[in-house]
Amino acid sequence: MSLLRQPTRHAELISRRIPPSLLRTHSSGFQSQSRIPSSFQLPSSHNCRYFSCSQSHFKIIATQLSRRASRPTHYNAHETQAIRHCSYRRNMCRHADNDGGSATTTLDHGLLPTNVVPRHYDLTLEPHFETLKFDGSVKIDLDVAEDSRTITLHELEIEIKHASLTLRAPHGQETIWNEPEITHDEEKQSATFAFRDVIPKNSKAVLDIKYVGELNDKMAGFYRSYYSNPDGSKGVIATTQMEATDARRAFPCFDEPGLKAEFTVTLVADKDLTCLSNMAVRDEKLLESGKKAVRFNKTPLMSTYLVAFIVGKLNYIESNAFRVPIRVYAPPSEDIEHGRYALDIAAKGLEFYEKAFGIPYPLPKLDQVAMPDFAAGAMENWGLVTYRTVEVLFNDKTSGAAVKERVSSVILHELAHQWFGNLVTMSGWSGLWLKCGWAEFGARYSLNALYPEWKLKESFVSEDLQSALALDGLRSSHPIEVPVSRPEDINQIFDSISYAKGSCVVHMLSDFLGEEVFMDGVRKYLQRHMYRNASTNDLWLALSEASGKDVASIMDIWTRNVGYPVVSVTEDGSNVRLEQHRFLATGDVKPEEDEVLYPIFLKLRTEGGINNDLTLTTRERDIKIEHPDFFKINANCSGFYRTKYSSDRLQKLGKAAELLTVQDRVGLVADACALATSGYQKTSDSLTLFRALSDAGETEFLVWDQILSRLGSIRMAWIEHDAIVDTLLNFQREITSPQAHQMGWQFLPEDGHVQQQFKALMFSAAGMSGDKLVVAAAQDMFKKFMFEGDKSAIHPNIRGSVFAINLKNGGEKEYNAILSFYETAETSDQRNSALRTLGQTRDDRLIQRTLDLLLSGKIRDQDVYLPIGGLRATKAGIRALARWMQTSWDTIYTKFPAQSSMISSIVSYCTNGLSQEKQLEEIEQFFKDKSLKGFDRSLKQATDSVKAKIQWQARDTDDLRRWLGMV
C-alpha cells in the first residue's frame, strides 16, 4: 500500500510532489561463522542488549534451515501453509521498551484461537446499489487441529443470517450441524460459533455462512465509491480495501496475514456492470433474476488483506507489452486514455522485477483500477491493484514532471509488493516493514534503472532518509519491528518508520553488502518462502548465506530499537574523535534512553576517496586523518544517522561543495538544521551554510530543495514571530531570486525531467517570498488562465505555485476563481492543485470558508488533508485549524472513526503546526478526557514536534535575530 504522507516541503512552497509512499538464483552456501571486516568490532552484550540474543537466534535459524533445505519451493496448497504456534506462545512478543532495550511481555494481539486452520474460501457476493447493502455467502474449508466445540473468526459490521458446519470425519462420514450458537465480541471484532458436539481433531470441515453487509462510506472493507455522470447524477462502484484488518467487513474470515488460504470468488451483478477480482474469469452464467454470476479462478495461497473485488461501470484499455495482459480500468467520468502511461510503466516494471528477483510474476493478469474514493494512495491487491485516480491516470498536457514521477513511484511500489508482501508475506503485522520498506526501496531501485536521468538514487537522501530521520527523532517514535495489539494500532504504524526507515535500512544493508551480493540474498529469501509467510530473521538468514556475514547481529540493532545516533566530530589537528549518542529532536535525551550502541558505517570521505572499512561500534573512537583540510563522515549519506560538526568545519564543507556529491550536500544541509532543532548546533550555523552554498553557485535541484525545505522549517518554528518570518522570507528571496530570474519560468521541450522541477522550485520560492518580477508574472498568468480563457497560460509544473502566489497577494476574487476551477477541473491532479492552494489565503473570512468545506460533503472525504495542508502555511491558518478540530471534534471522529486510516493524519495535521506553550497546553487539555483510540501514537508524535519547536525557540531566538541583523 502506498502511504499518503504529510508534505515535507517548507510550508509556503506549494508541494509539487508527495514523497513516494506516505512513496519505489545464484547463492553461496550457508556460512556457519560470520565473516565481518576485521575493523568492524561488534558491540558486547553489556552495551547492546540485542547482540547476545541475535547470535544465538542466528544459530537456531541456521539449524532450522538445514533441516528444511530440501523442502520444495514450488506452490503446493498443503505443504506451504504457515506453521501456527499455540495461543500462549503467539502472545509472547519481544519488543522495545522505553529505554530502547528489549522486554518480554504478554500482549493481546487479538489473534484467533488455533484449533482450526482455513484452507479455502468459496465466496459469493451480490451488491445492491439501491439499498447500499450486499448479500454474502462464504464456505470456508477448515482443517481441525484439535478437538473443539467452537470456531472463532473475525467479522465486523455484518449481520450473520445463517450458519452450518459440514463435518468430514477421518473415517469418511459426513455430518451437518445447523444453527450453532453465535456470540459476538465487538472489541475483538470476532464471532464464535459454538456446537453441541465435539469437532474431532484431524477432521475436515466446511463452515457455511450466509450474511448481509453494508456497502459502507468508510473506504474500508466492501465499500461504495461515487463518480459523476454527464447528466450530473452519481454512479456507484462497489469496491474493496482490506488492508490492514478490513476483510472482516466484507466476509467472515480468519483475518490475519499468517493465515494464508486459497480463494474462489463469485460476483453477482447486473449484466452491464464490470466484475473484477484477483484472478481471471473462469466462467459467467446468466441467472433467472436476469443478473449474471461471474466466477473467477481459484487464487494461489494468499492473505485475506490482499483479496479484492469490484463491481461497477468501468472502461478499460489493455497492453500486451508484457508476458501477461495488463489493463487499466477507470469509471466513465475519467478519460481512460490517461491510463496509457500506467500501462507502459507497469509493463517495464514487471519485466524489471522478474529479472531482479529471479521469479516470474505468478498471476495470469494484472489489472490497475482508478478509484474515485480511496483512503490510501494505492493498494497492492494481488492481480488487482487499486489506486486513487491521481496516482494512476496521467495526462502530460495537464500534469507536470513531479506528478509523472509520483505516478511512476506509486505504480512501481505496488508492483514490488507483488513479490514482497504478496508472494512472500510477513508473519504478522509487527513485520509490516518487510513489505512496505522493501516496496519503497524497490520502487526507487527499479526507477533508477529505468530512468537514471531522474536521479532517484540521489533523491533518496532528500526524501526517504529525511522523512524517516524526522519521525524517528521523536521520543514517541517506534522501532521498525513493533508489537501491535489492536486494528487501530496497526493502522498507525503505516508511517515513515515502516516505509521510509524500512527503506533506509534496506538501502544501508545493500550498500554494506554490495548490490550484487545483496540481490543474491533477496532472491534466496523470495524463492525459499514463496507462497509462505516469513520473518525479518528469515531475510537476515538469506542475506547472511549470500554474503557470509552475520547480518542479524548487525541489523537487529537497527530494526528492534527506536531512534538512531548522532555522531559528534571533534578535531585536534589530524586526530579526530567520534562519539555517538541517541538523537532526539527535543534535545533532552535521558541516560536510560542512550544505552544502545549502534554499529555505524563511517564511510569517511577525503580527497583520496572513501574509506568503507571504518566503523564505530563503541561510544567513542579516535581516528587519524592524514590530510584533515577536507573530510566528511557518512559519504553519500547511506548510513542512518546524523553527523555533528563544529561551526568551522561546517563552513569549510560549505565552501568545498565541489568535492561533495549531491547526496553529501543534501545530507549536510539536513543534518545542520536538524541539529539546530535539537540544540546540538546553532540555527545561525544552518543559515550560514545555506548562504555559503548559494554563494558557491549551487546548481543542483535536490540541494536547493533541501535548503528551502529546511529554511521553511525554521520559519514554521518561529511562525508566531511576524518580524522574524518576514526577515526569513527576505533571506529566501535574496538567495532564490537570482536563480529564478536566470532560469526563467518558460518550460522548453529540451528541459529534462529534473530541470523542469528545478525551474518550478525556484519560481515558487522566489514568488512566495515576494519577488516582484515573479509575482507580476504569476498574476499575469492567472488573469489569462482564469478570466480570459487561455488554458495554456499556466504550465502544469507551476500551476499550484501560480495559484498560491495570487491567493497570497489577492483576496476573494482569486479565491472564488480557484474554487470554481476545482469544481470544474477535468483531472484529479488539477482538482488537487486547487484544493491544496485554498488554504494559502491570508484572509480570515476565506480561511473560515476553507474550513467550512472540509466536512460539507463538497469535497471527497479522502481529500480533506489537502486544504488542511495548505492552511498549515500561515499563523492564522494554524490557529484556525486547531480551533476547527476542537469545535468539530464529534463530527470529525464520527466521520473518521478509530478504525479509519485517516483520523491519525487529521489529528497530526491540525496540531503539529502549533509552536507555543499555551497552544500545546490547550491541545493536551482538550484530549485529556477523550478516547485516543486510533490516533494516540500520532497525537504524541505531533505534540513532541511542538515541544521541539518550543525548546528550539527558547534556545535560539536571540541567535537567529542576531544573524538576521535584527538586533
Q: Which residues are annotated as a binding site for Zn(2+)?
A: 413, 417
d(CA 693, CA 877) in angstroms, rounded, equals 32
Helix (H/G/I), strand (E/B), else coil: 392: coil
CA distances from 513 to 69, 439, 459, 517, 547 (A): 24, 19, 21, 6, 7
Count of CB atoms within 10 A of residue 888's CB?
A: 15
Helical spans, DSSP H, in 230-309:
247-250
What letter does residue 112 receive in the DSSP assignment? P
Would you state the cell numbers that stand for residue 370, as one nine-digit string? Answer: 482508478
Half-sphere exposure for 895 (CA within 13 Å, toward CB): 17
The strand pairing partners of 147, in sequence order, are none
E strand segments, 537-669: 565-572, 575-582, 600-601, 604-606, 609-611, 615-616, 620-624, 631-632, 642-644
Burial of 738 (0-12, 13-18, 19+ CB in 10 A): middle
Q: How far is the C-alpha of 671 from the C-alpha of 642, rounded, in Å?
A: 6
Query: Collapsing DSSP states into helix, strand and coil, what is residue 747?
Result: coil
Chain-centroid distance, C-alpha 838: 25
Compute the distance between CA of residue 344 and CA of residue 320 in angstroms, rounded to an integer.
10
Q: 80 near 527, Cβ under 8 Å?
A: no
Contact partners, residue 355, CB within 8 Å, separation at least 6: none
d(CA 523, CA 27): 8
d(CA 196, CA 150): 9
Distances (CA, A) of 264 to 278, 289, 530: 10, 22, 20
Task: Find out whether 583 and 63 touch, Cβ atoms under 8 Å.
Answer: no
Contact yes or no for 511/503 (Cβ under 8 A): no
Active site positions, annotated: 414
Q: Please, are residues 862 and 850 in contact by the beta-carbon 8 Å criterion?
A: no
Q: How far apart are CA 836 and CA 804, in angstroms?
A: 9
The residues, ordered by sequence, that sit 6+ positions from 567 with a Cβ below 8 Å of its Cβ are 578, 579, 580, 600, 602, 616, 633, 634, 641, 642, 643, 644
Helix (H) or strand (E) holding 765, with range, is helix 753-768
Q: Can you tell me the distance from the alpha carbon of 546 to that of 532, in angstroms, rounded to the nearest whole number?
A: 21
Q: How far is CA 778 from CA 150, 754, 965, in A?
A: 69, 22, 31
Output the DSSP codes for 175-235.
EEEES-EEEEETTTTEEEEEEEEEE-TT-EEEEEEEEEEE-BSSSSEEEEEEEE-TTS-EE
* Strand duo 190-199 + 181-185: pairing: antiparallel
Element (H, E) at 149: strand 148-154
Query: Which amino acids are annotated as binding site, given as ranges?
Result: 413, 417
> What is the spatial distance between Cα 674 and Cα 583, in angstroms, rounded to a whole number?
10
Give the integer Cα–Cα distance in Å for 375 and 387: 9
Pairing of strands 575-582, 309-312: unpaired
Nearest to 151 by CA among 74, 203, 216: 203
